[in-house]
């Protein structure tokens, strides 16, 4: 394991992922938009790059996990971006959830500079990032994935090659679509139960035993009943991902009526100042209409 | 185990459930609207009742699992209905999925005649009925449930007391709400994947590993990819259940925007002659809009 890893984006997901790479024995050079994230990792043994370009210059594989498409464009193609640190054999693995179309455009620009790019967004939240059990959905050349697999394996448990460049992002959006509607079904069932005078805990127990069950029902419904809205995954981030899904759906002419509905509800929650709560706060959109609280 | 069981409604669900009761050692008297269902069970050892009233007269516990609210009203309160066979200690367990409000009205009428009623709708489909692994959601008095528990235990694995009369039906509708939206999320993800050039099998594998997973994604999505639309649970029945959910939701002022959307899609499929297909045929509503087939 001789690869030198660059890591850009030391947020709530990036920090534990970078730590897992160091634990696995990789040498890390890090960069972040703000200083405190860098200091923390440097204290734990990472080297500090002076810019994304500098990180790229000093690495064989550079990983990015930042906010959204424009942030990726900036650290990759912007001034002192990764592309300026291009060298023979450099691979770029972008683990941000972003637009499949923008991903393909960036991959093309990087390809012209001799840099192989993988899109490798993740599912599993902060807990999965900490435990190294993320699901990683990968788009790009299979050879590049094989080369980077030991690196990804230090951060995730399930690594699925989804197809060419952008395919990882597309499958991540499929994941968010499934999550969004399962979440809505759970929330409608909870509000309907509470409004009907049923103990929502009993409903969760009964429904979890059959065809109505889901990761959301088993993991998030109990938190709602406890009025625990701390984020495993934030309303604002899911709102962004659903906007990406609707944009991509329009581009490929794939109708997403349910996703559109949930996206509008998340947008309303954000407008209402709930962007930092967990996605289970979707129930609040229904509770306000019904004028009650599930508990 | 001395209880004599009456069984009314020998359809796709009722037949295997009645068989499991006989296997468990209960004595059965059966009745069905059409003769062939009766003949089959009589050949296997059940006695034949001449009417629902006759079945009730000869039983300690009489079970019904028929089509919908009006069918239950007819076999219970109609001419030669269960109520006419009322005798001391008779209990009626209705396992049809029907309106919680109508359930409460019937329970009240039966109560006046000295018959205890439980609503005990099930989840698990034909397979669960055959295997004796149904989830049973029970409304009514706890004492009546305790008395009937050995009978229910011969047909199901998970038996949850949900509350007073009608509560079993309400929780069953919660189940259908959760199922409906999880189904829609799965279908939107599949069509979006196919439209985007992603192998839907790869999408199913990746999404099933994380927070987007559900019983529907794991069990029904693979059938869609194989173009297998045989019913585990029929479009027409889910359409009926979602109508019941919307009616009940309106009665208790619980907003169900997502359920309303899916109900409309099921109604369109029924109008289009697909009522006898499995609920995974929901994908066809999206496929027609997108003009493609997921496979």
CATH code of the domain in which A204 resides: 1.10.1040.10
The domain boundary, picked from B164, B188, B205, lies at B164
The domain boundary, picked from B141, B164, B187, lies at B164
Crossing angle between the packed helical segments B167-195 and A200-208, to the nearest 10 degrees: 60
User: What is the chain B residue with the closest CA to A128?
Assistant: B210
State how far Cα B125 lies from the chain centre.
7
In a domain, A295, yes or no: no
Q: Does one domain contain both A16 and A78?
A: yes
A200 to chain B, minimum CA–CA distance in Å?
Answer: 9
Q: Does one domain contain both A238 and A270?
A: yes
CA distance B180 to A212: 8
Please count the helices (runs of H) and the strands (runs of E) in chain B.
14, 9
Q: Does one domain contain both B78 and B179?
A: no
Beta pairing, strands B61-64 & B47-48 = unpaired
User: What is the chain B residue with the closest CA to A249?
Assistant: B192
Please count the helices (runs of H) and the strands (runs of E) in chain A.
14, 9
Q: Does one domain contain both A127 and A12?
A: yes
Q: Does one domain contain both A72 and A146?
A: yes
B95-114 pLDDT tens trace: 999 999 999 999 999 999 99
Do B19 and B37 contact (CB within 8 A), yes or no? no
Which CATH number does the domain housing residue B63 bear? 3.40.50.720
Do A222 and A283 contact (CB within 8 A), yes or no? no
CA distance A177 to A254: 12
Q: What is the domain range of residue B144?
A: 4-164
Do A210 and B123 contact (CB within 8 A), yes or no? yes
In a domain, A264, yes or no: yes
Q: Does one domain contain both B136 and B214?
A: no
CA atoms within 13 A on the CB side of B277: 21
ipTM: 0.94
In a domain, A183, yes or no: yes
Burial of B49 (0-12, 13-18, 19+ CB in 10 A): buried
Q: Does one domain contain both B79 and B104?
A: yes
Of A160, A182, A198, the CB nearest to B206: A160
CA distance B174 to A274: 26
CA A112 → CA A62, A104, A105, A209, distances in Å? 17, 12, 11, 53
Length of chain A: 295
In a domain, A222, yes or no: yes
Q: Does one domain contain both B146 and B182?
A: no
The domain boundary, picked from B121, B143, B164, lies at B164
Ranges of residues in chain B whose predicted pLDDT is under 70: 1-2
Q: Does one domain contain both A41 and A133?
A: yes
Of A158, A182, A219, the CB nearest to B181: A182
A158 and chain B in contact, CB less than 8 A = yes
Q: How many domains does chain A have?
A: 2
User: pLDDT tens track of chain A, all 295 residues?
Assistant: 458 999 999 998 999 999 999 999 999 999 999 988 899 999 999 999 999 999 999 999 999 999 999 999 999 999 999 999 999 999 999 999 999 999 999 999 999 999 999 999 999 888 899 999 999 999 999 999 999 999 999 999 999 999 999 999 999 999 999 999 999 999 999 999 999 999 999 999 999 998 999 999 999 999 999 999 999 889 999 999 999 999 999 999 999 999 999 999 999 999 999 999 999 999 999 999 888 899 8
């Amino acid at each position: 394991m001789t690869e030198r890893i660059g890591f850009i984006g030391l947020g709530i997901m990036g920090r534990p992922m970078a730590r897992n790479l160091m634990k696995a024995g990789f040498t890390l050079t890090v960069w972040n938009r703000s200083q405190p994230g860098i200091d923390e990792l440097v204290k734990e043994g990472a080297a500090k790059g002076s810019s994304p370009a500098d990180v790229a210059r000093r690495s064989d594989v550079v990983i990015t996990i930042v906010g959204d498409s424009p942030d990726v464009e900036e650290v990759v193609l912007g001034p002192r971006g990764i592309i300026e640190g291009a060298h023979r054999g450099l691979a770029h693995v972008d683990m941000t959830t972003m637009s499949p179309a923008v991903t393909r455009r960036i991959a093309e620009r990087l390809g012209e500079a001799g840099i192989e790019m993988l899109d490798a967004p993740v599912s599993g939240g902060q807990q999965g990032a900490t435990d190294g059990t993320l699901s990683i959905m990968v788009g790009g050349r299979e050879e590049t994935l094989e080369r980077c697999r030991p690196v990804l394996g230090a951060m995730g448990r399930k690594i699925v090659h989804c197809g060419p460049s952008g395919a990882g992002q597309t499958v991540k959006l499929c994941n968010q679509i499934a999550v969004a509607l399962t979440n809505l079904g759970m929330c409608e069932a909870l509000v309907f139960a509470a409004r009907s005078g049923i103990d929502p805990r009993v409903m969760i127990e009964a429904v979890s035993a059959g065809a109505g069950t889901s990761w959301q029902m088993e993991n998030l419904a109990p938190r709602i009943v406890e009025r625990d809205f701390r984020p495993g995954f934030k309303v604002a981030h899911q709102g962004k991902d659903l906007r990406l899904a609707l944009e991509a759906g329009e581009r490929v002419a794939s109708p997403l009526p349910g996703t559109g509905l949930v996206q509008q509800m998340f947008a309303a929650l954000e407008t209402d100042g709930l962007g930092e709560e967990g996605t289970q706060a979707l129930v609040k959109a229904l509770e306000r209409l019904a004028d009650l609280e599930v508990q």
